[in-house]
A and B are shown apart, each in its own frame.
Chain A
Amino acid sequence: AQSVTQPDIHITVSEGASLELRCNYSYGATPYLFWYVQSPGQGLQLLLKYFSGDTLVQGIKGFEAEFKRSQSSFNLRKPSVHWSDAAEYFCAVVRPTGANNLFFGTGTRLTVIP
């Protein structure tokens, strides 16, 4: 079945440490890929997106993500986490053909400890 998987439900990191959040997709062709962040009580904000070209994508707030076709992955990274990065992170796709809507992963909750 076509799906988006975020294998980590909850991750805890220390402030200043590096971060990597995992995302895998299972589509025959490369979908359009997104990472959204949701702060408590807030809506979703786009961090970055990928549809073609350079496989390393830079986003807002110092985040980046790398598309790896061979691994069907689009992992989100940040070299040094700040306390304000504590939030829920969602990987999402738009399928390469067909409907325009986003399909979301189940999310990864990030806790940042001092």
Chain B
Amino acid sequence: DAGVIQSPRHEVTEMGQEVTLRCKPISGHNSLFWYRQTMMRGLELLIYFNNNVPIDDSGMPEDRFSAKMPNASFSTLKIQPSEPRDSAVYFCASQKGGARGFFGVNEQFFGPGTRLTVL
């Protein structure tokens, strides 16, 4: 398996532009997570989906951020309009089942991340 795939790996854009980050989870995984990593705030969860349904979006910073999962193999995170403070590395992770599997805790597998720079 190719693992979690994220695109683009790097994105540089100007303030006010729309940015779309993409994620393809591992086949067979039915939970998907979007995280953001910054120097100031570390790694923080933005939103997670289970069976394509958003379960917890309390980490989404504001209305400029939106995420969708139209099917089991694809998710997007969109920022519109983007601002310089959105500059960060955005990670997507997928997991088989929920966090608590029958034999214990299921692992989240992370993608390589998208480094976003908003000028």
- List residues of chain A with CB under 8 Å of any chain B CB: 32, 34, 36, 41-46, 49, 51-52, 90, 94, 99-107
Chain B residues in 8 Å Cβ range of A101? 33, 45, 48, 56, 99
| Interface status of B112 (Cβ within 8 A of chain A) | yes
| Known pairs A32-B99, A43-B111, A101-B56; A51 contacts B105 (CB<8 A) | yes
Chain B residues in 8 Å Cβ range of A90? 43
Partner of A102, one of B104, B108, B111, B113: B108
Size bin of chain B's contact surface = 20 to 34
Chain A residues in 8 Å Cβ range of B54? none
Partner of B105, one of A49, A99, A103, A105: A49
Q: Is B110 in contact with A44, judged by CB distance below 8 angstroms?
A: yes
Closest B residue by C-beta to A101: B45
Chain B residues in 8 Å Cβ range of A51? 104-105
Q: Is A44 in contact with B104, judged by CB distance below 8 angstroms?
A: no
Q: Is A32 in contact with B112, judged by CB distance below 8 angstroms?
A: no
Chain B residues in 8 Å Cβ range of A107? 42-43
A44 to B43, CA, bound (A): 11
Closest A residue by C-beta to B59: A101
